[in-house]
Amino acid sequence: MTRIAVLDDYLNQFHEFADWNSLPDECDVTFFNEHLGYDEATIAEELKDFDVILGVRERTPFPESQIAKLPNLKLLITTGMHNASFDFKGAKKHDVVVCGTKTLSHPTVEHTWALILAATKFIPAKDQAIKNGQWQAGMAVGLKDKTLGVLGLGRLGSQVAKIGQAFGMNVIAWSQNLTQERGDEVGGVQCVYKETLLK
């Protein structure tokens, strides 16, 4: 029997995100809806019998000290291809294979813009005001001609920048390795020093 743990399924949705029935009959999948915490002894006790662990982002860390407490562990999976809380060298030292899953960038970009619009249009406050029987609770801030600062113009940052441009915003960006050539590729984003961006 191959025992598989899916951690931090706090929305109780992961059973729908994959075709778990396509796994061989000898696989047994357990979904953990509650966070196991950060105590290594507690985590080890809960996961000691599992061969495969799927960690959701950086919620449950797996340093070498934790991996060493899981003698049955053969495969450690992270959602996405990067996970700063997984010790890749430590896993290799204990013959544990680490891999990641493909990720989608658009949900993060959409959420970023949902937060920007909620903040500039005062959506939470206005929603509450209407529920309290009030109307016209303050003026929203327009985005056109405002400056949007983006940290990096990679897969996520470039999409955020393009939406800002669609709103008519002046988009500036900074990262350690960012060049104006990359800014031009993203539609004329001005590359600035970090201090300028944060100001």
Residue 129 parent element (H or E): helix 123-131
**Residue 137, pLDDT above cutoff 80:** no
Counts of helices then strands in the chain (DSSP H, E) = 8, 8
Name the architecture of domain 106-198. 3-Layer(aba) Sandwich (3.40)
Structure tokens at 90: 């430590």
Strands 52-55 and 2-6: parallel
pLDDT in tens, 80-91: 777 888 999 999
Task: Return the higher-pLDDT residue of 84 and 121.
Answer: 121
Are 57 and 35 contacting, i.e. CB atoms less than 8 angstroms apart? Answer: no
Choose among 3, 103, 109, 100: nearest CA to 49: 3
| Region of poorest pLDDT, from 18-22, 65-69, 159-163 | 18-22
Please give the order of strands across the beta sheet that includes 190-191: 147-151, 170-174, 190-191
Q: Do residues 68 and 51 make contact, with C-beta atoms less than 8 angstroms apart?
A: no
Structure tokens at 16: 């729908």
* Local confidence band at 18 (pLDDT 50, 70, 90 cut-offs): confident
Domain boundaries, the chain: 2-100, 106-198
What confidence tens digit (pLDDT) does each residue in 161-177 have? 999 999 999 999 999 99
Domains 2-100 and 106-198 share a fold: yes
Q: d(Cα 103, Cα 80) in Å, to the nearest integer? A: 5
For 2-100, which CATH class?
alpha beta
